[in-house]
Amino acid sequence: MGKRKSKAPPPTKEIKKVPTTFDCPFCNHESSITCRLDRVADVGEVSCRICGEKFQTTIDNLSEPVDVYSEWIDECERVNKGDD
């Protein structure tokens, strides 16, 4: 008698990673923005290695680098729009 075929294990789900380097909206260089999170001081900082632009904002325990970058982009759009 033959052996029963064993059921193949389900494929593992690929976990999507959140990016930590971004494109600079001022100098348009790719992957030139780095993000630093200081959880002790509750400060997140993004800075461009090429043009030197910097932005700081307050963070909480759940903040990720993409959140700080998104806040920077939103602030740039708000300033460009002229709303105070």
Mean pLDDT per segment of 10 residues, for the chain of length 84 residues? 78 85 90 92 94 94 93 92 69
Q: What was the pLDDT predicted at 2?
A: 66
Cα–Cα dist 66/46, whole Å: 10
Q: Which pTM was predicted?
A: 0.75
